[in-house]
Structure 1
């Protein structure tokens, strides 16, 4: 998944990903998403492979983005069908297969009925949606018996001894601004295994992957581009000024970079 955000007390919190922030038509959006995919796709696909995703599976890829996971499901896992769902599917135009069905729709649309699946995967989607707990319940109803739900979302593990560096100031300001503008909230991500149990799923487990944050590497580029795109919103809130943001951006490209960046928590479970 992919209006101008207001600042200060004018922030209403009713914006949406892809509208208030991170518009899919932005010339750098596909590259920003692909930078994250370079880091997280190997982790995601390893887990899906270990869960036995392969021929005979019908899969729903929620928030398909630029289609990197959907392509892996089709070309490497050789699943029977992939339904790629996103509010904006323009970046999927180059992905063609008779086993692919592209659905342009909003996951929160109550009329959406995509069918039943052996795998439902969503990465960095539910954290941006205010209805995330209800949507977990909804996704479970779309699973076939024995089908698996796999969710990946962000967990940030800040250094408790570092609250004043430019990097930490901007990262913290980013999370607060995202929550106020589009509803992003990562605080419930560690509870996903409990949500899965509450939905009656079995074989529930989770893992956390914190990739290295390397100067000018794909993840550093992802955060740098994210901060640049959010710059007006970050500065308008008054939480960080231009000098702090510039210092944090320079740090991401510096050999001095030494941070444990935000990671991805993968949670999976199986419908009885």
Structure 2
């Protein structure tokens, strides 16, 4: 994907509405796969118990609960445009903020750890938001950003899987402004913000037939069917074939990965 065309759409409004009966299940399927990588990295970055943490795009609260229970944070601020997915997460150290990260009036204070996963890729203002998050760090504080990166098979341009995945990225871009073209530049962005000890990594969890990640993509494609067909790349038959492939023993793909970058405020 390349470019950041203007889009009036919003994640959670024009696509993936939180009130959909299966939205929490879709998010949790991805969390089940990606949380171990995220928390392993956070474990190396969280300075110790007692810090103040910000979780941007809190979703169903899986990372929020890890920060409270495993990292023993003194306070966790859970920020999301819709915080209904947090459910019954109750802890006196948890502060839930229902707001848009792009709101210029938003003042949350400063933090020892800030984490945002699969959030900035959906926001056209992502580069400015990296600056904003970096400014919210305390001295010595860490910023951890994670977003999706495609690693397509260059020999496959016509399978139902490839056509559906490509149609998905095109539909996301045109509908809500999703753009993954600059994700691998995140380490450079963090250095430009003056952060130190900057590094990045890419993980591509196995895409196993019928597994959580395959279920995530199946549910995502099924939910996006009208938008996928509007791209002109696929029709219902192609989507059906791609979804069936994700559940079949013949599945053999390196699915999209997660690029994570981190840095520390001097």
Task: Kindly report which structure 2 residues correspond to 1:9-24, keeping only aligned pairs within 5 A, or say none.
Answer: 13-24=7-18
Q: Which structure 2 residue ranges, 5 or more long, are not aligned?
A: none
Task: Kindly report which structure 2 residues correspond to 1:43-62, keeping only aligned pairs within 5 A, or say none.
Answer: 43-62=37-56
Partner of 1:183: 177
- SS in structure 1 at match of 2:50: coil
Partner of 1:168: 162
**In structure 1, how many angstroms separate the alpha carbons of the residues matched to 2:235 and 2:7?**
21
Partner of 2:231: 237
Partner of 2:80: 86
Q: Could you tell me how far 1:93 is from its partner in structure 2?
A: 2.8
**In structure 2, how many angstroms separate the alpha carbons of the residues matched to 1:238 and 1:161?**
21
**In structure 2, how many angstroms separate the alpha carbons of the residues matched to 1:12 and 1:56?**
41
Partner of 1:148: 142
The TM-score normalised by the length of structure 1 is: 0.95
**In structure 2, how many angstroms separate the alpha carbons of the residues matched to 1:256 and 1:93?**
37
Partner of 2:264: 270
Q: Could you tell me how far 1:56 is from its partner in structure 2?
A: 1.9
2:68 paired with 1:77? no
8 Å CA contact retained: 2:46, 2:71: no
2:254 paired with 1:254? no
Partner of 1:42: 36
4+ residue segments displaced more than 2 Å: none
- SS in structure 2 at match of 1:223: helix
- SS in structure 1 at match of 2:224: helix
CA RMSD, 1 decimal:
1.1
**In structure 2, how many angstroms separate the alpha carbons of the residues matched to 1:234 and 1:149?**
34
Partner of 2:207: 213
8 Å CA contact retained: 1:53, 1:77: no
8 Å CA contact retained: 1:12, 1:181: no
8 Å CA contact retained: 1:152, 1:266: yes
Q: Which structure 1 residue ranges, 5 or more long, are not aligned?
A: 1-10
Partner of 1:124: 118
Cα-to-partner distance string for 1:61-107 (whole Å, 9 max, x where unaligned): 00000000000010111111100000000111310000000000000
- SS in structure 2 at match of 1:83: strand
**In structure 2, how many angstroms separate the alpha carbons of the residues matched to 1:248 and 1:133?**
33
Partner of 2:24: 30
2:194 paired with 1:200? yes
Q: Could you tell me how far 1:12 is from its partner in structure 2?
A: 7.5
8 Å CA contact retained: 1:118, 1:143: yes
Q: Could you tell me how far 1:54 is from its partner in structure 2?
A: 3.1
Cα-to-partner distance string for 1:95-154 (whole Å, 9 max, x where unaligned): 000000000000000000011000000000000000000000000111000000000000
Q: Could you tell me how far 1:38 is from its partner in structure 2?
A: 0.3
8 Å CA contact retained: 2:46, 2:142: no
- SS in structure 2 at match of 1:13: coil
- SS in structure 2 at match of 1:111: coil
- SS in structure 2 at match of 1:122: strand
2:95 paired with 1:101? yes
**In structure 2, how many angstroms separate the alpha carbons of the residues matched to 1:124 and 1:237?**
23
Q: Could you tell me how far 1:53 is from its partner in structure 2?
A: 4.2
- SS in structure 1 at match of 2:140: strand
**In structure 2, how many angstroms separate the alpha carbons of the residues matched to 1:210 and 1:54?**
28
